[in-house]
Chains A and B, each alone.
Chain A
């Protein structure tokens, strides 16, 4: 018998006389509690709680804010489909991991922001780049539109396509492995700037 058939047979045997289980209760919070400015304010507060920075600006101010946030950065990679021009920005061009390691910063858009948890979600479509782009460079500038911010995890899961790879980002890379005290900055970008566009 193959391992597959063997395991499936063991599973069936193990639960053969187990009672049926009722449908899971879904009476946890289903409707968003915050909206409008309250929602955005919570998003900003929670992202900053992870020691990321948040800048609120208008659509027209984005190029200027990008320039400011990337001031002093030597090399920045810009994914295909990123809607703003970044002076000196390099296209991805299928850079190897070693090549990306020599790049200082990356700019991306994002798919969803979660206010309750201070999270931005990348689903790596146009403007967001493949996963390695927002991972290897040490500085990540992430642009999100105000209408992409949702209240909680439930809403975010409902909006995302599981067939696309995703990276949920809550603050910069961090560890609590030494005496359980939080240290920002291990392997992913050590600095995260979020640009919230209204």
Chain B
């Protein structure tokens, strides 16, 4: 019953479709505007914000430089505290590990804490194929899951939906998978949250296994950290007997003390609060408290590919706060679905190509261009990821990846222009040819004028070039080249 991003068109086409959805544009403008204001207010409260950003970036950079040591330390600390550590090279391997744990306990349902890593690996679909239901318990994830929809934001996956749409989803879908929505149900957010509370409570009380991600994993102690708001995370992390946490290998921080930086940067950047309502930390299995069987899956799935990219490895600093989405003029208008990934927005535009590689599929290759390079994302990023620079670097990689095949029209045009312009004689000849054409065209009847120049209107071009040429008028070439004018008038001295 779940939609997937597989087969999404490249960004320009997906964006065009998204822009036609005026309801969604309205919802997004309202929501991103709200969160921008909140974030700005709580960030302004912190005098040492820039020092925290610098520290956060540097801690992550240093961790990534010695990631092998930190991962080995994390593994040892976790094992010492009774956790089972698994390693997963890719999505398939990670999903199989989680499914095996579920099967070992003979469970046919798991409750889930919102987790980008499990979305990235398509865990819900993989479990479904094994006959195991995965219930999302974050309110926004629940809205997406019940609506057979796709997430469109890292923090608020249902940001594209407004309250009346959510009410309809709850009324029509809750009863199919559990406790139905109360009747009557208003579209007041408090009522909708209340309906989710009732619907999920029975699942929390029943579930024997939970799946989570982690915001941070402390290498020296083996402590995992989950930052959340609603308490659904606490329910999943505390009530079931078995807990499996899927953790990207870049989530490691070396020491417990490092959390002082990130627990200041993350809440203010993501929900615009001084602190999120609930933060849970746990270290392995805690006797007499919470799940007594604890698994941690350390996930690569392209992260080592990103790590090998000299410019791009800084994207692995990302703490998934989504501040870059909320300030992005492109995201605000197109929404998250157009990016065709669970990681939308500016960070998605770099993270997806870095994780998957360039030159592999057209959709991923289109993402580095989904930006105006305005730089707002870099300014908002709490760990100072220079997203615009990485975007430019990746554009270069996309172009390089396509070299060798059939050249694109602009490549042919540029090569031709390069040949002409590299020789002054050729340049002069081509200018004279253009001037001759200009004189001819000026004698034609009709046509429009733009300033004191006639314009030809658009020139039909084949294939992809038509999108460019249709929107542009081509001016008639000047009737005399600059060189000819210069020599005729002695550099403008003898104008006549």
**A10 vs B68: C-alpha distance in the bound complex, in angstroms?**
9
Whether B289 contacts A131 by the Cβ 8 Å rule is yes
* Residue interface mask A159-196, B partner, CB < 8 A = 1: 00011111111111111111111011111110000000
Residue of B nearest to A52 (CB): B277
Let me know if A135 is at the binding interface, CB within 8 A: yes
Whether A180 contacts B34 by the Cβ 8 Å rule is yes
Kindly identify, within residues 108 to 139 of chain A, every residue whose CB is under 8 Å from any CB belonging to chain B.
114, 116-119, 124, 130-132, 135-136
Given contacts A18-B310, A135-B238, A167-B280, contact A175 B229 (CB under 8 A): yes
* Residue interface mask A1-15, B partner, CB < 8 A = 1: 011101110111111
Chain B neighbourhood of A156, CB < 8 A: 260
Let me know if B360 is at the binding interface, CB within 8 A: no
Whether B278 contacts A46 by the Cβ 8 Å rule is no
Whether B238 contacts A119 by the Cβ 8 Å rule is no
Among the interface residues A25, A116, A188, which one has the most CB atoms of the partner chain B within 10 A?
A: A188
Among A26-34, A57-65, A69-77, the one that faces the other chain is: A26-34
**A152 vs B264: C-alpha distance in the bound complex, in angstroms?**
9
Let me know if A85 is at the binding interface, CB within 8 A: no
Let me know if A97 is at the binding interface, CB within 8 A: yes
Let me know if B304 is at the binding interface, CB within 8 A: yes
Whether B162 contacts A185 by the Cβ 8 Å rule is no
**A165 vs B67: C-alpha distance in the bound complex, in angstroms?**
25
Whether B307 contacts A3 by the Cβ 8 Å rule is no
Whether A177 contacts B277 by the Cβ 8 Å rule is no
CB distance from A2 to the nearest CB of B (A): 7
Given contacts A6-B89, A177-B158, contact A168 B193 (CB under 8 A): no
Whether B65 contacts A21 by the Cβ 8 Å rule is yes
Among the interface residues A28, A156, A170, which one has the most CB atoms of the partner chain B within 10 A?
A: A28
CB distance from A198 to the nearest CB of B (A): 23
Let me know if A87 is at the binding interface, CB within 8 A: no
Chain B neighbourhood of A98, CB < 8 A: 205
Given contacts A177-B140, A179-B189, contact A116 B274 (CB under 8 A): yes
Kindly identify, within residues 257 to 305 of chain B, every residue whose CB is under 8 Å from any CB belonging to chain A.
257, 259-261, 263-264, 267, 271, 273-283, 286, 288-290, 298, 300, 304-305
Let me know if B415 is at the binding interface, CB within 8 A: no
B64, B230, B256, B288: the one contacting A186 at CB < 8 Å is B230
Let me know if A20 is at the binding interface, CB within 8 A: yes
Whether B192 contacts A178 by the Cβ 8 Å rule is yes
Whether A10 contacts B232 by the Cβ 8 Å rule is no
| 15 sampled A-B residue pairs with Cβ under 8 A | A7-B89, A11-B71, A14-B305, A18-B313, A28-B261, A101-B201, A130-B289, A131-B234, A131-B237, A162-B223, A163-B221, A165-B282, A165-B290, A178-B163, A188-B231
Given contacts A26-B55, A101-B201, A178-B192, 7 further A-B contacts (CB under 8 A): A13-B308, A25-B54, A119-B275, A172-B277, A178-B166, A180-B34, A183-B189
